Amino acid sequence: MARVLSYPRLISMENFRQPNFPLVAELMAWLVKQYDPLADVSTSIEREQDRVIFIRTVAQTIATKAHLKLNTKKLYQADGYAVKEILKVITPLYQSLRESESKELEDEDDIDQQYRYAMNDDIGILKNARQLCSTITQKGANLHELLGKEIDAREARLEVMSRGTELSEVREGIREAENASKRESNKFTKLIENVQTDEVALDEKIAKRMEEKDRHQRRLDMLKSVRPSFMNDFEKFETELNELYSNYVLKFRILSYLEKELEGHFRNQREKVQEVSRQYMQAMNSQLTEQDQQRFNRQLQDPNDEIGVRSDEEE
């Protein structure tokens, strides 16, 4: 319903599983503005007195503007019971909005739709008439039963009216009323005395609890001031542990440094070996190239080689 009425936020029953007074206050202030835009509702709800004043103001405004009576106790609880009270306020707005929308739709519909809506209205009138008939029947039965008792009641009424009132009876009635009022007064006086007795008992319990608290506090302070027997050994072992940890950190740093240096040394050695191997291979390649060149030159200078003979024959 709140969504249909353009409430600025979504609301569900999960919000009221636990008392949620700020949400109830926000929603009720918004509803009061819907009924009376000029209404001045204080939104201060920090203190208990402010919340009571807020609930009272909202209830009075709703009763004046909407003629609805709200249960302020349930509304102050701000839980599932408060939802029922909120529904009392929001339902008329929702129904009026729906009725206005239905009227607009009826104005826009054609003749067939108007006939259909008229038929629905007739059905609603028939349902209301049937309900009224059952109510009239029930009321008539109750009235018939009461009229059956009218004969005895008439005789008793006439007897009382015909009998003259005596002064002694009046005095007796006044005396009985006085005694009844005294009994009521005594009862309330006893209740007040019981309340005072309960207050005294509670004060005694509070004083006793405060004494126990002071005693336990003194005992706690005493235990804090006493040094345990194992504290010397604890401090000694703690000092040794700090020294061992410092040595461990130092050795770990030295080991990490040495591992890093060793890895760098191995890397340099591998690079040197690779460089020597590369230079050796280059020297070997250059030497082999020079030997092949010399061999080829010797073959060219030799006149008895097969190449030269074939050349003379061909010539």
Output 116 or 243, whichever has higher pLDDT: 243
7 lies in a domain? yes
Q: How far apart are CA 34 and CA 28, in angstroms?
A: 10
Number of helical H runs and strand E runs in the chain: 9, 0
Range of the domain at 33: 2-103
Which pLDDT score, from 0 to 100, does residue 32 have?
Answer: 79
194 lies in a domain? no
CB atoms within 10 A of CB 87: 11
145 lies in a domain? no
Which pLDDT score, from 0 to 100, does residue 8 have?
Answer: 67
Q: How far apart are CA 298 and CA 296, in angstroms?
A: 5
282 lies in a domain? no
Rounded to 5°, angle at Cα 163 from 161 and 165: 100
Rounded to 10 degrees, the C-alpha dihedral 178/181/182/186 comes to: 180
First to last CA, the chain: 122
Which pLDDT score, from 0 to 100, does residue 108 have?
Answer: 54
Give per-residue pLDDT as tens, 134-146: 888 888 888 888 8
* Token pair in block for residue 267: 């890397």
67 lies in a domain? yes
30 lies in a domain? yes
Q: How far apart are CA 17 and CA 31, in angstroms?
A: 21
Provide φ and ψ at 78, rounded to 5°. 60, 40
77 lies in a domain? yes
Any residues with CB less than 8 A from the CB of 51 and at least 6 apart, and which?
21, 25, 45, 76
55 lies in a domain? yes
Please say if the pLDDT value at position 213 is more than 90: yes
Which pLDDT score, from 0 to 100, does residue 5 have?
Answer: 64
Please say if the pLDDT value at position 283 is more than 60: yes
Q: How would residue 109 be classed by pLDDT, with cut points 50, 70 and 90?
A: low
Give per-residue pLDDT as tens, 43-63: 777 788 878 888 888 888 877
Which pLDDT score, from 0 to 100, does residue 308 have?
Answer: 46
Domain count, the chain: 1
Lowest average pLDDT, out of 175-179, 200-204, 225-229, goes to 225-229
What percentage of the chain reaches a pLDDT higher than 70?
A: 81
Q: How would residue 4 be classed by pLDDT, with cut points 50, 70 and 90?
A: low
Which pLDDT score, from 0 to 100, does residue 53 have?
Answer: 81
Please say if the pLDDT value at position 87 is more than 90: no
